[in-house]
């Protein structure tokens, strides 16, 4: 892939930068700081509506459904500039996860009903995959959907359901048949979160935030019209969704921005002491991360080149997911090391303010929440098995 941008690409990059500078204002940024509360949802919807008005909300969608028609290079430029600017990605569950499943495998009625409302952020979606006994081994799920005339009756529970407390809809993997290979008896259902029988229980994570939930289904009636594709073929659709999800977890630009900010912070002297950047061990760890990030960037470019040539994400997406999340965690560990004891300070601790308590508190929160990065989207152990089987033939 030629990574030298054309004049048209550079003009597009400048347009993206100008749009971000003009439209991602302080009010929206403040609302999106924290991943919780009604302000977060309002802020994210307001930002997504700005992207929709610009025509940039769905770069990956086909143009007939509202996509941008961008080239792979333009998509790469957009995501790079977004990450470097520190602008959060759109909530992926509707726009990047269920929508591609609907427009690829859904019928015309489903496309007409769901896609416009996802595009305009009228509906907020969440993902019903993991269960208490089925996380990395997702095909072990036990939530059932029994056929009953015009409805499926759903019973079971899902866990680690991000933003379910805000969601209007949930897309679920459910077991519709037994007595066959476990991947073959799974179906893909779209469920209205206002349906009687659904209960949401909050899960407060170690960083003190509420973004995760357990969702319980008790005799929930779901119209058969909400079945995507064929019954018992949901595993096929889920695999296609997960491949795209994992590709997006490389987050090279986001990690580059975080690493640059870390280096700038580490170069400052605190309380008359030596700057942390001068510590040989800190330097070594920083250099290791920079080299890993550079290797990840070129791997990411190779995947984009393949997609530009008409390919689809394959086992490479597992590699991007592994290294992307491991690099994210490594940066978070260095951030916490830089914060040192200030990372455990209370908001009114004046000593923490000498360092800049905002940095210390944010470093602590990112570190704690980021421990899950190597698990979500399929644990890194499972991704290594995928690579061993699909790439190495083991």
Catalytic residue numbers read 245
DSSP-derived secondary structure for 249-317: T--HHHHHHHHHHHHHHHTS--TT---GGG-HHHHHHHHHHHHHHHHHHHHHHHHHHHHHTT----THH
DSSP bridge pairs for 220: 154
Rounded CA-CA distance 13/4 in Å is 13
DSSP bridge pairs for 127: 171
Contact of 385 with 378, CB cutoff 8 Å: no
Rounded CA-CA distance 295/288 in Å is 11
Contact of 336 with 363, CB cutoff 8 Å: yes
The number of CA neighbours under 13 Å toward the Cβ of 371 is: 9
What is the distance of C-alpha 364 from the center of its chain? 20
Rounded CA-CA distance 134/374 in Å is 16
Rounded CA-CA distance 224/202 in Å is 29
φ, ψ of residue 225 in degrees (nearest 5): -65, -15
Other CB atoms within a 10 A radius of the CB of residue 166 amount to 21
DSSP bridge pairs for 156: 217
Which runs of E-coded beta strand occur in the chain? Answer: 125-128, 144-148, 151-158, 169-175, 186-192, 198-204, 210-223, 227-228
């Amino acid at each position: 892939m030629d990574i030298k941008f054309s004049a048209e690409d550079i003009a597009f990059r400048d347009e993206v930068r100008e749009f971000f500078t003009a439209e991602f204002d302080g009010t929206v940024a403040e609302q999106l700081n924290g991943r919780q509360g009604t302000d977060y949802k309002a802020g994210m919807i307001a930002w997504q509506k700005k992207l929709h008005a610009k025509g940039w909300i769905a770069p990956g969608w086909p143009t007939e459904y509202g996509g941008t028609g961008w080239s792979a290079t333009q998509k790469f430029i957009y995501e790079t500039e977004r990450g470097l600017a520190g602008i959060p990605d759109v909530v992926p569950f509707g726009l990047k996860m269920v929508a591609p499943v609907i427009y690829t495998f859904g019928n015309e009625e489903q496309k007409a009903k769901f896609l416009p409302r996802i595009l305009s952020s009228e509906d907020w979606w969440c993902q019903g995959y993991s269960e208490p006994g089925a996380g990395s081994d997702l095909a072990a799920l036990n939530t059932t959907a029994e056929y009953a005339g015009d409805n499926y009756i759903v019973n079971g529970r899902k866990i680690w359901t991000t933003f379910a407390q805000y969601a209007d809809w949930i897309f679920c993997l459910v077991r519709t048949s037994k007595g066959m290979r476990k991947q073959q008896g799974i179906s893909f259902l779209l469920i209205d979160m206002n349906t009687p029988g659904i209960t949401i229980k909050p899960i407060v994570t170690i960083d003190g935030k509420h973004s995760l939930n357990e969702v319980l289904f008790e005799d929930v009636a779901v119209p058969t019209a909400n079945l995507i594709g064929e019954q018992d073929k949901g595993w096929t659709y889920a695999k296609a969704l997960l491949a795209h999800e994992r590709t997006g977890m490389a987050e090279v630009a986001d990690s580059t921005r975080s690493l640059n900010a870390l280096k700038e912070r580490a170069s400052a002297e605190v309380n008359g002491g030596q700057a942390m950047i001068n510590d040989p061990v800190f330097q070594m760890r920083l250099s290791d991360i920079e080299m890993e990030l550079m290797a990840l960037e070129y791997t990411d470019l190779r995947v984009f080149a393949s997609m530009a040539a008409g390919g689809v994400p394959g086992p490479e997406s597992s590699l991007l997911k592994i290294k992307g999340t491991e690099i994210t965690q490594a940066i978070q560990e260095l951030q916490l090391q830089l914060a040192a004891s200030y990372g455990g300070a209370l908001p009114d601790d004046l000593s923490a303010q000498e360092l800049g308590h905002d940095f210390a508190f944010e470093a602590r929160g990112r570190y704690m929440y980021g421990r899950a990065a190597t698990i979500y989207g399929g644990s890194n152990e499972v991704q290594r098995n995928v690579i061993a089987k699909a790439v190495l033939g083991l």
